[in-house]
Amino acid sequence: MNPDHKDDHKDHGRRVIGLFGRIAPWYDFLNHFLSLGCDVVWRKRLRRCVRVHRTNRVLDLAAGTLDVSREIIRHMPDVDVVAMDFSEPMLRRGQRKIRGKGEERGIPSRPRIQPVVADGRALPARDECVDCVTIAFGIRNIRPREAAYREVLRVLTPGGRFCILEFGAGRQKILRGFYNLYLHRVLPLVGRIFSGDPQAYRYLAESIQEFPDAGTLCEELLQAGFARAYSMPMTFGIVQLHIAEKTGTGHEG
C-alpha cells in the first residue's frame, strides 16, 4: 500500500473516533428519530440472519451503543457476544443502557456481552473463534474495508457468516432524489439542533453517498475470499442487508 494512503487511513480513523465520541450522548435518540423508528426493524432482520454452530460465539463489530448485541442476546440468551468498537464512549453508553434497562427489555441481568475497544482492521482475537460477525452501519467507516474483510475471515469458523447492515441509495429514482435531499439538508440540520455537531452528520451523509452499491460490495467480499455473498434490500433499498459466508461447513438455514 502507498504510505500516503496509510496516513490517510490513520487520519480518517482518528476523525471517526472523535466524531462518534462527540455524538455518543445523542446517538441512540437521533438513530430512532432520523430513521422514523425503522432502525429497530432493521436490526431485528439482521439478528434473524445470525447463525452459530461451533463456538456459540458472535462478534458484533462496530458495536456502538450495543443495540445489535442486545438484540442478539434478547433472542439468543445462551450465545456469547464480543462487542468491539473503536469508540470507548459509545461502548460505555451501551453498558449503561444494559445496567439501566436490561431486565425490563427481556435481557438477562448479567448478559453475556463482552465490550472491547478495538480496531476492526486488527481484531484482538484468535483465528476461527466466532461463528458469526455482525456489523450495523459501521463498515463504511472502516478504511480500507479490505483490511476488515481479512480480519473477519480470519476470526470466522469455517462456514461462518458475516452479516452487514448498511445504508443503500434507494432503488427508485424519485426516491433517491428525496433521499439525497434528506441526507444533505435534513440530516445535518437535525444533527446541529440536537447534538450541536452538524459536521458529524454531514460526514455521515457523505459516507453513505460514497459507499458502493450492493453489487459492488458483494464483489468486494468475494474478491476478499468469501465463498458466497448476496444482498437483501429493505425499505425500498434505503438499507441493504449483505450476507457473506466463509468456505466450510456451518449451520444451514
Is there a domain that residue 187 lies in? no
Dist CA 160 CA 229 (whole Å):
12
Is there a domain that residue 205 lies in? no
The CATH number linked to 70 is: 3.40.50.150
Mean predicted lDDT score pLDDT of the chain: 88
CB–CB of 135/114 below 8 Å? no
Kindly state the average pLDDT of the residues 28-47. Answer: 90
* Position 104 confidence tier, pLDDT thresholds 50, 70, 90: very low
- pLDDT tens-digit profile of 198-247? 778 888 888 988 999 999 999 999 999 999 999 999 998 889 999 999 99
Is there a domain that residue 179 lies in? no
Is there a domain that residue 9 lies in? yes
Is there a domain that residue 220 lies in? yes
Q: Is the pTM of this model over 0.75?
A: yes
Mark 190-210 as b/e (b = at least 16 C-beta within 10 Å). bbeebbebeebbbbbbebbee
- pLDDT tens-digit profile of 61-96? 999 999 999 999 999 999 999 999 999 999 999 999
Dist CA 45 CA 144 (whole Å):
27
DSSP class of 212: P
- pLDDT tens-digit profile of 162-187? 999 999 876 656 677 788 888 888 88
C-alpha cell at 180: 439525497
Dist CA 84 CA 123 (whole Å):
9
Q: Residue 39: give the domain boundaries.
A: 3-169+212-245
Is there a domain that residue 79 lies in? yes
Number of domain units in the chain = 1
Q: Which of 12-21, 37-46, 55-64, 119-128 has the lowest mean pLDDT?
A: 12-21
Q: What share of the chain is helix, strand, coil (3-state, %, to 5)?
A: 50, 20, 30
CB–CB of 48/27 below 8 Å? no
* Position 252 confidence tier, pLDDT thresholds 50, 70, 90: very low
C-alpha cell at 58: 458472535
| Beta strands in 90-209, from DSSP E residues, in sequence order | 113-117, 130-136, 156-167
Is there a domain that residue 191 lies in? no
C-alpha cell at 36: 422514523
Quote the pLDDT of residue 193: 84
